[in-house]
Structure 1
Amino acid sequence: MEIGLIGLGKMGGNMAERLRLAGHKVVGFDFNPQATAKLTATGSVGVNSLEDLVANLTTGKRAIWIMVPAGDPVDETVAKLKPLMKQGDIFIDGGNSNYKDTIRRHDELKPQGFDFVDVGTSGGVWGLQEGYSLMIGGDEEPVKYLSPIFEALAPAADKGWGHVGPTGSGHFTKMVHNGIEYGMMQAFAEGFAILKAKESLNLDLAQISEIWRHGSVVRSWLLDLTAEALKENPNLEGLAAYVPDSGEGRWTVFEAIDLNISAPVITEALIRRLRSREDNNYTDRALSIMRNAFGGHAVKKS
């Protein structure tokens, strides 16, 4: 089966290679010419324009998988592709778009004769070896048509992927998935921080993480990755305490509020990420001056 792929970063490039190894023809485009050259060198077709990408898809319906940042980049990519495509062709958004944007795009494209499928994609840079978890939303017919692609990208043809519901449901499910991920990461980080702070016991965090990996109720792939990182850098030297977010955690919290669902763990994990980016935190300085004002407590000067 043929598939066009836009966005050949680490994840997109690995997806292209996994598809190629499964016997699918991949035509890829990226604004980075080195990325397209690397794709060609590995046996797929790297092109330098959207026109060439569409022209190289010659069999069956054109299906183009878009892996670009959420928001305007997706709309701009779709707008540039539309004049090059024909009715019945399929747009696939495999990035972390807001599900509301996904529903809007589907509703705009469907009357024009195009299909739009949203795929919440998890697996990161390990997807080439491990396969990707794919949460798929969209109309039944295009999802069924694309099933060979999903089977090739997933950990197995019958595992790790599924059509979870109508348009938007794939991105909605991935949004909540990432919110859960925030909470899990925060819990592990806090737990290891507590272990680290108990200096009198001289605990080996790398050793403890290895013990937890086998038989423990907290064993997980996330713990596996953490254990490997602690083995290589137990004191986390050279790392700044700055944690970005790509939006999905925020959207999860907003949805929880709209749905009257209490989600304190995910919400606090998001707040902690925001806190990590504050230089010379004003909130803490304000707390310090309050304690000094009402109780005469000492204030630490910078």
Structure 2
Amino acid sequence: MSKPAIGMVGLGRMGANMARRLHLKGLDVTVYNRHAQKATDLAQETGMHAASTLEELVQKLPAPRVIWLMLPAGEATQSHIDQLLPLMNQGDILVNGANALYEDSMAQSAKVEAAGIHYVDAGVSGGVWGLKEGYALMVGGSQEAVSRVTPFLKALAPGEDQGWLHCGPVGSGHFVKMVHNGIEYGMMQALAEGFAILQAKSEFDLDLAAVAEMWRYGSVVRSWLLDLTADTLQKDQVLADIAPVVADSGEGLWTAQAALAMKIPAPVITLALQMRWASQGKDDYAAKLLAMMRNQFGGHAVQKEG
């Protein structure tokens, strides 16, 4: 019996490691990347197959094909879908694993399904640890399509029956992943603020690494994020070389927008998102104006830059 075959498109940090995990689990993997050398190098490293063009990728895969995209959301994903559709046959399956807005996935699905090709949206969490620990997978699509990609979901997940879920119709996978990331924003912000408070209490000379390590066992705040925080603090508690700039991937914003649209109060997620914007210097003008207001009404001194 032949092994289930899959084509992986996009070999960034997530895509390449997902291909590695699928290959290590004994599945037949063919990889493609816009920069072909990445695919060639990965094939030479692992023994999996490489394709230098999308046409070659489609030709190498047995029908009905499964092609999984791990590309940036937006134009990069859409352009690859537009290139792949004329090459694929009815009954093939296209999986979009980008951090995509669920409404975009629903719109893409309509075009893909109209061509007789199944569309599955997959929210993927796990980051650089996924290769070893497995990925959390939130998928949306028809029962038929998800059933056919289940061997790949089981291989990618932490366990065959753990860490993956068919959430519902197309769009639901990316919607659940979007909210997942919004929650992540809030949890990270709370941990960061808590340790900032601990660090500021200088007279206690607290060992933040020891506190984090202790909290990992029995505490109600224990979590993987706390594990990662403890590891960071064990290596460096001062963080003098780290710029106070936190990027946002967009999913926190989408979650806040969805909450507003449905009139669901989500102040923690929304404020955590806004704190990321503040770290990017987007509150600089407001902070300067606040300082001038205090100067005007109370005569409080204004600090000059430089």
Where does residue 250 of structure 1 map in the other structure? 253
- Which range moved further: 252-261 or 32-41? 32-41
- Out of 40, 48, 51, the position equivalent to 1:47 is 51
1:135 equivalent to 2:144? Answer: no
Task: Indicate if the aligned counterparts of 1:154 and 1:160 stay in contact, CA closer than 8 A.
Answer: yes
1:106 equivalent to 2:109? Answer: yes
Give the aligned residue type for 1:99. Answer: Y
Give the aligned residue type for 1:54. Answer: V
SS in 2 for 1:164: strand
Distance 2:50 2:271 in 1: 43
1:195-206 maps to which residues of 2 (within 5 A)?
195-206=198-209
Where does residue 304 of structure 2 map in the other structure? 301
Percent identical residues: 52
Distance 2:171 2:261 in 1: 17
1:270 equivalent to 2:277? Answer: no
1:206-254 CA-to-partner distances (Å, cap 9, x unmatched) read 1111000111111111111111111112111311111111110000000
Give the aligned residue type for 1:213. Answer: R
- Out of 276, 290, 293, the position equivalent to 1:290 is 293
Runs of at least 5 residues in structure 1 that lack an aligned partner in the other structure = none
Distance 2:71 2:108 in 1: 15
SS in 2 for 1:92: strand
What is the root-mean-square deviation in Å for CA atoms of aligned residues? Answer: 1.1
SS in 1 for 2:304: coil
Pairs aligned (count):
301
Moved over 4 A (4+): none
1:46-66 CA-to-partner distances (Å, cap 9, x unmatched) read 2221111111102x4111100
- Out of 87, 93, 96, the position equivalent to 1:93 is 96
1:177 equivalent to 2:187? Answer: no
Give the aligned residue type for 2:288. Answer: R
TM-score scaled by length of structure 2: 0.96
1:173-252 maps to which residues of 2 (within 5 A)?
173-252=176-255
Q: 1:279 Cα deviation (Å)?
A: 7.0
Task: Indicate if the aligned counterparts of 1:9 and 1:35 stay in contact, CA closer than 8 A.
Answer: no
Runs of at least 5 residues in structure 2 that lack an aligned partner in the other structure = none
SS in 1 for 2:137: strand
- Which range moved further: 23-32 or 254-263? 23-32
Distance 2:166 2:174 in 1: 12
SS in 2 for 1:69: coil
